Amino acid sequence: MFISLLAVIALGCIAWLGAASGFQYLIGVVLPYAAVLVFIGGFVWRMVDWAKSPVPFRIPTTGGQQKSLDWIKPARLDSPFTTAGTVGRMLLEVLLFRSLFRNTSVEIQKGPRVVYYSAKWLWLFALLFHYCFLLIFIRHFRFFLEPVPFALTAIEFVDGIMQIGVPRMFMSDVLVVAALGFLLARRLFSEKVRYISLANDYFPLFLLLGLVGSGIWMRYFAKVDIAAVKVLTMGLVTMNPVLPEGIGAAFFIHIFLLSCLLAYFPFSKLMHMGGVFLSPTRNLPNNTRAVRHVNPWNPPKKYRTYAEYEDEFRELMEEAGLPVDKTSEEAAAAE
Amino acid sequence: MYNGKYIIPGIVIFVGLFTFPFWSNLLTPKYERPQLAMPADQKECIEPAEYMRAEHMHILDVWRDQALREGKRAYVASNGKVWDISLQNTCMKCHANKADFCDKCHNSNSVSPYCWDCHVAPRGNQ
């Protein structure tokens, strides 16, 4: 935990020092390009790697009755039998985190008695985090598009509709910090989760907190010359990068942490973004009883029929008085 | 590769979406910082230009609170000069052209301040 925290703090310090000592072009232009290349290349590589792994059998995790006899009601989403059911299950999983919704907490009460409670907080804050992050990601396109499309202005209007402060406070900024805070607090204060949490669980959380925090710091407190930032970002996406004068250090910390996130993404647990689509326990219909699935790389079976066996040993069998399907006379007549 | 007919289109769609800013800007002319109409007869704003660029919204917010809620109408600038706290009479005395001063940067960076919900928008230097 502390290693991850120190790593993110160190990254922030590197960016800050770099921006202060003349490495602005490296941090603002070279690293983002490199990070985007690593992100796309790494993402495709991971997906192709997974796609190469064979999944010969149906191994869906099920949460309901399998399709069986007509008078037994099947669970169409929790144990999908058709493609439509599987697609529906995937959509609910990807868009609404349906399986997290079923999360329960176990407790041993005095008695001793095991009690299962419904535990929805993880689902709620996970959903909150992902949608806020998506919203923030989309909002940032105002720096990459000219003119800014109306849809983006509309999103910003709704997100900042509370009209608190100037620049206007975005609700998604507050909620994403709250959600990340919950996800971190859960790892720190729930003994069971803490026991299984590793540095690669904490690092993405701290990195995201650093990224979001530096963005908030830049937007609401430190304030940078946003028109110059747009010159830089537009230069990046139009492939003629420029480094305008007078952008504050907060921006370089922000874009450095973003570059770190992009480059780290394909090699971390964050790849669940693509992996969720390739989960064999989710994306396969549960039709093991209705359809025969043959392992495609099984070697061709070598077998010998009884007729061939008898052809070879017929005379010996007849000598020994064993019963045969065809006698020597019948076999000779057939030839 | 297994299930390539599903996975390859998925990867193509993902890469296409992610690189959207790059290919959607292929035909965009080079982006320039918006050129603002500066007041002709004044050389200095209340604070240095860099500070104003980053903090003008904060100053306006503080001014709004001080003028309307606390009734304070005097602003002492960092160089000691005293200004009247008033959007209408101080800021817009020089920056009288909203379309060519405020709106250019705001539109380009998708900022929509709500100053003009209450204030009368300046129409220009006519």
pLDDT in tens, A143-163: 999 888 999 999 999 999 988
> What DSSP string runs through A296-312?
TTPPPPP---HHHHHHH
- Nearest chain A residue to B24 by CA: give it: A145
Asked if residue A16 has pLDDT above 90, the reply is no
User: Could you tell me the CA-to-CA distances from A203 to A3, A53, A192, A255, B2 in Å, in that order?
Assistant: 8, 28, 19, 17, 33
- Tell me the average pLDDT of chain A: 91
**What is the Cα gyration radius of chain B?**
22
Q: Give yes or no for a contact between A278 and A50, defined as CB atoms under 8 angstroms apart.
A: yes
- Please tell me which of the candidates A51, A228, A244 has its beta carbon nearest to residue B4: A51
> Which parts of chain A fold into alpha helices (H)?
2-20, 24-25, 31-52, 83-96, 98-101, 121-139, 150-159, 171-189, 191-196, 199-216, 226-237, 249-264, 272-275, 306-320, 328-334
Closest-CA distance, A190 to chain B, in angstroms, reads 36
ipTM strictly over 0.85? yes
The closest alpha carbon to A187, from A169, A200, A171, belongs to: A200
**Block residue for tokens 């989309």:** A138
pLDDT of B123 > 70? The answer is no
For residue range A205-239, what is the model confidence (pLDDT) as tens digits? 999 999 999 999 999 998 888 889 999 999 999 88
Residue B126 to residue B98: CA distance in whole angstroms: 12
Residue B52: count of CB within 10 angstroms of its CB: 13
Which of A165, A230, A277 minimises the CB distance to B61? A165
Q: Give the residue-averaged pLDDT of A44-62.
A: 91
- Amino acid sitting at position A30: V
Query: ω into residue A112 within 30 of 0, thus cis?
Result: yes
Residue (of A311, A262, A276) closest to A33 by Cα position = A262
Q: Classify residue B65: in a domain, yes or no.
A: yes
Q: How far is CA A150 from CA A248, B51, B109, B111, in A?
A: 29, 30, 12, 12
Structure tokens at B57: 């919204």
Chain B residue closest to A160 (CA)? B112
The verdict on a CB contact (< 8 Å) between B2 and A165 is no
Assigned token pair, A81 = 């039998």
- The residue range of the domain holding B66 is 47-93
What average pLDDT does the segment A171-178 reach?
95
Whether the pTM exceeds 0.90: the reply is no
**Cα(A163)–Cα(A128) distance, integer angstroms:** 21
CA of B60 vs chain A CAs: smallest distance (Å): 8
Q: How confident is the model at residue B126, as a pLDDT?
A: 43
List the domain boundaries for chain A. Answer: 2-278, 303-335
CA end-to-end distance (rounded Å), chain A: 82
CA–chain centroid gap for A93, Å, is 11
- Is B23 at the interface with chain A, CB within 8 A? no
CA distance B23 to chain A (A): 8
Decide if B63 is inside a domain: yes
Q: Which of residues 42-71 of B touch A (CB under 8 A)?
A: 50, 53-55, 57-58, 60-61
Kindly determine whether residue A40 and residue B114, on different chains, have CB atoms separated by under 8 Å. Answer: no
Tell me how many domains chain B contains: 1
For residue B58, give the H/E element and its range.
Answer: helix B49-64
- B3 — contact with chain A (CB < 8 Å)? yes
**Does B60 reside within a domain?**
yes
* Yes or no, beta carbons of B108 and A148 under 8 Å apart: yes
Residue B34 lies in a domain: no
Q: Is B69 domain-assigned?
A: yes
In which band, very low, low, confident or very high, does the pLDDT at A199 lie, cut at 50, 70 and 90? very high
- Answer whether B31 sits within 8 Å of A142, measured CB to CB: no
Distance from CA of A90 to the nearest CA of B (A): 14
Residue B88 lies in a domain: yes
The reply to whether B77 falls in a domain is yes
SS3 B102: helix
More confident residue, A332 or A39: A39
Q: Is pLDDT of A141 > 90? A: yes
Q: What are A252-274's pLDDT values in tens digits? A: 999 999 999 999 999 999 999 99
Q: Look at residues B75, B76, B95 and name the one whose alpha carbon lies nearest to residue B85.
A: B75
Rg of chain A on CA atoms, in Å:
31
Which DSSP string corresponds to A110-138? TTTEEEEEE--HHHHHHHHHHHHHHHHHH
The span from the first CA to the last CA of chain B, in angstroms, equals: 69
Rounded Cα–Cα distance for residues A101 and A103 (Å): 5
Q: Is residue B19 part of a domain?
A: no
Give, in words, the CATH class of A2-278: mainly alpha
Percent of residues, chain A, with pLDDT higher than 70? 100
What separation in angstroms does the CA of A138 have from each of A168, A218, A266, A288, B20? 17, 18, 20, 41, 12
Contacts of A147 in chain B (CB under 8 A): 107-108
- Dihedral (CA of A129, A134, A137, A139) sign: negative
Contacts of A86 in chain B (CB under 8 A): none
B74 three-state secondary structure: strand
